[in-house]
Amino acid sequence: MTEAPATHIGGGADTHPVGCDAEASLRAGTYSLLANLLAKPPDQGTLDTITQIDRSPEGADTLLGAAWHILAAAAERASVAAVDDEFHALFIGLGRGELVPYGSWYMTGFLMEQPLAQLRGDLARLGFERREGVSEPEDHAAGLCDVMAILNTPGEVSAFDLQRDFFERHMLPWLPRFFRDIQQASSASFYRAVGQLGEQFLEVEKEFLRAAAPEAGSSQRDNLV
């Protein structure tokens, strides 16, 4: 939905690399998986990849670890045709799906409202460009996860405070509720596990970013205001 930024995020000497490559890869990979699952129904290759998630007992000793286990088990049980039907019932439908995966809708009750305009301004300041031929508004849940995946790509220069500010301005106000709604949706089966992973990952991410980029001394916050 968006392209990688044309310039390095933040820029300048006062930015700092994002964590170690392993940590950044894990966070980017989780965002990327969520983006893919929210943008389109998974094919068999994606389901097979998810089933390979480590399900050893020691990996499930946190809520996030348990959510990964539940998702892997759900992918093992799922069929491509059933998940495709589920995706369309949840997010597309005849007129609209059971859920509306847009920030403006969740925050105002309407599409294409002020939250989308604010997001577009912030994306432009971060150097992101809209992909040619994409019709979805940028405040789609998949698009926001795409942005965070790119901001966490190892080797990119992206300050933690830029990540935190984008997360808190455009994701935290509505995405946790959206993921909880997926878990409660009557059409959800496989996607109930996706909702659990999304909710638990965002909770961990919230605490991680606030610890990594404390308010005091933040050097980049004004770039998104």
* Listed residue (165, 159, 172, 169) closest to 201, CA to CA: 172
Q: pLDDT value at position 153?
A: 79
pTM of the shown model: 0.85
Low-confidence residues of the chain: pLDDT under 50: 2-19, 157, 216-223, 225
Residue-by-residue DSSP string for 26-95: HHHHHHHHHHHHHHS---HHHHHHHHTS---GGGGSSHHHHHHHHHHHHHHH--HHHHHHHHHHHHT-SS
State the Cα angle at 49 between 43 and 52, rounded to 5°: 145
Q: pLDDT value at position 195?
A: 98
Q: What does the domain layout of the chain look like in residue ranges?
A: 2-7+20-224
Q: pLDDT value at position 19?
A: 46
* Listed residue (103, 123, 119) closest to 111, CA to CA: 103
Q: pLDDT value at position 21?
A: 77
The dihedral sign for the CA sequence 114, 117, 121, 124: positive
Beta bridge partners, 130, equal 2
Q: pLDDT value at position 3?
A: 44
Class of CATH domain 2-7+20-224: mainly alpha
pLDDT digits (tens, 9 = 90+) for 69-88: 999 999 999 999 999 999 99
The dihedral sign for the CA sequence 198, 203, 206, 212: negative
